[in-house]
Structure 1
Amino acid sequence: MMNFLPRLHQDELLYSVIARYKRMCGMVSKIALVRDLYDEKTVFKSTLFPQHLNKLIANFPYNSKIGVNELINNHTPFNFYTAFLSSQLTETISDGMINGKGTGIEALVGIAGSRVKLNDHLKVCPACLVEDVESLGEGFWKRSHQIVGALFCLKHEVPLVNSKVGSSDNIVDFICADEDVYDTENSLPVIYSAEIKKLNLSYLRNVSYLLNVNQKRKNLSFIIDYYIDRLREKGFASKSGNLYITELVEVFGSFYPTEYLELMQSTIDIKSETNWLRLFVRNNNKNRSPLRHLLLLQFLGLDVSELFDWNSTIGKITIKSNRKPKYELSERKSEWLKLINENQGATRAELKEKGKGLHTWIFAHDRVWYEDVTPRIKARKNKRAAIDWNQRDEECLKLAKKAVKGILSFDGKPIRIIPANIRRAAGVKKWFLHKKLNKTWQYIEEVSEDINSYRIRKINWAISELMRKHGKATAYQVQLYAGFGGKNDEVRKIINEVLESNRDI
Structure 2
Amino acid sequence: MATSIGFIPSWHLDETLYSWAARFHAIHGNGSARETGALLFDAEHACRERDAPRNLHHFVNVTGGTLGNVHDLLRERTAIGLYLPFLSPSMLAAVKEKINCGKGIGWRAQFGMAASSLDSASQLRYCTTCIDEDRSNLGLSRWRVSHQWLGSWVCAEHGRPLCKVSPKRSAWELPTLCSQSMPPPSVSEAELMALIHLSKLAEHVARSEALDMDSVRQLALNGFREQGVTSWSHPVDRMQLARWFKSMPIVTWLARSQGPENKLAGGEWIHDLLRDRRVDHPLKWLVLWHALFSHEDQLSTVRRLQTPVSQPHWDASGQGRIWGTALDKLPADVNELLTGVTTVVQAAEQLGTTLLSLRKRLKQSGTTLKLLRSEQSLDERFNRSKVSIQIYMDENPLCTRTDVFLHCKTPYEWLRKHRPKELLLLMAKVPHRRSRQIALFI
Instruction: Provide TM-score, normalisation by structure 2.
Output: 0.62
Q: For the Cα contact (< 8 Å) 1:14–1:71, is it kept in 2? A: yes
Change (3 A) 1:249 1:190: closer
Find the partner of 2:283 among 291, 298, 301.
Answer: 291
The aligned amino acid for 1:261 is L
1:196 match: 191
State the SS of the aligned residue for 1:300. helix
Separation of aligned partners in 1, 2:183 and 2:263: 25
2:224 is the counterpart of 1:231: yes
Find the partner of 1:83 among 74, 85, 103.
Answer: 85
Pairwise CA distance, 1:109: 2.6
Change (3 A) 1:304 1:313: farther
Change (3 A) 1:236 1:5: same
| 1:193-227 CA-partner distances (Å, limit 9, x unpaired) | 1121111011001011022x312332x43332232
Separation of aligned partners in 1, 2:146 and 2:274: 27
Separation of aligned partners in 1, 2:144 and 2:228: 40
Q: For the Cα contact (< 8 Å) 1:252–1:299, is it kept in 2? A: yes
- Comparing 84-93 with 49-58, which one deviates more in the overlay? 84-93
Find the partner of 1:23 among 23, 26, 33.
Answer: 26
Separation of aligned partners in 1, 2:90 and 2:350: 42
- Number of residues paired by the alignment? 312
Find the partner of 2:112 among 98, 103, 110.
Answer: 110
2:46 is the counterpart of 1:51: no
1:316 match: 328
Q: For the Cα contact (< 8 Å) 2:16–2:77, is it kept in 1? A: yes
Pairwise CA distance, 1:277: 2.0
2:76 match: 74
Change (3 A) 1:276 1:3: same
2:302 match: 304
2:245 is the counterpart of 1:245: no
Which structure's relative contact order is higher, taking Cα pairs within 8 Å and 6+ residues apart? 2
- Comparing 138-147 with 296-305, which one deviates more in the overlay? 296-305
Separation of aligned partners in 2, 1:121 and 1:83: 23
CA RMSD of superposed structures (Å): 3.2
Change (3 A) 1:315 1:43: farther
Pairwise CA distance, 1:31: 3.1
Separation of aligned partners in 2, 1:117 and 1:42: 21
Pairwise CA distance, 1:111: 2.5
Instruction: Provide TM-score, normalisation by structure 1.
Output: 0.55
Separation of aligned partners in 2, 1:120 and 1:233: 41
1:130 match: 132
| 1:333-370 CA-partner distances (Å, limit 9, x unpaired) | xxxxxxxxxxxxxxxxxxxxxxxx9xx9xxxxxxxxxx
1:259 match: 252
1:183 match: 179
The aligned amino acid for 2:119 is K
The aligned amino acid for 1:12 is E
The aligned amino acid for 1:316 is D
| 1:154-207 CA-partner distances (Å, limit 9, x unpaired) | 1111121123525xx8xx52112344xx229x9766421112111101100101
Separation of aligned partners in 2, 1:221 and 1:187: 38
Q: For the Cα contact (< 8 Å) 1:242–1:316, is it kept in 2? A: no
Q: For the Cα contact (< 8 Å) 1:119–1:146, is it kept in 2? A: no
Unmatched segments (≥5 aa) in structure 1: 326-356, 361-505
Separation of aligned partners in 1, 2:5 and 2:17: 15
Pairwise CA distance, 1:85: 1.8
Q: For the Cα contact (< 8 Å) 2:219–2:326, is it kept in 1? A: yes
2:154 is the counterpart of 1:157: no
State the SS of the aligned residue for 1:265. helix
Q: For the Cα contact (< 8 Å) 1:231–1:237, is it kept in 2? A: yes
Percent identity over the alignment? 22
Change (3 A) 1:47 1:251: same
Q: For the Cα contact (< 8 Å) 1:4–1:61, is it kept in 2? A: no
Pairwise CA distance, 1:93: 2.7
1:278 match: 271
Q: For the Cα contact (< 8 Å) 1:115–1:265, is it kept in 2? A: no
1:214 match: 208
Within 5 Å, give how 1:355-434 maps onto structure 2. Answer: none
Unmatched segments (≥5 aa) in structure 2: 295-300, 310-323, 335-346, 357-442
Larger Rg: 1
Pairwise CA distance, 1:242: 2.8
Separation of aligned partners in 1, 2:273 and 2:285: 9
Separation of aligned partners in 1, 2:308 and 2:113: 27
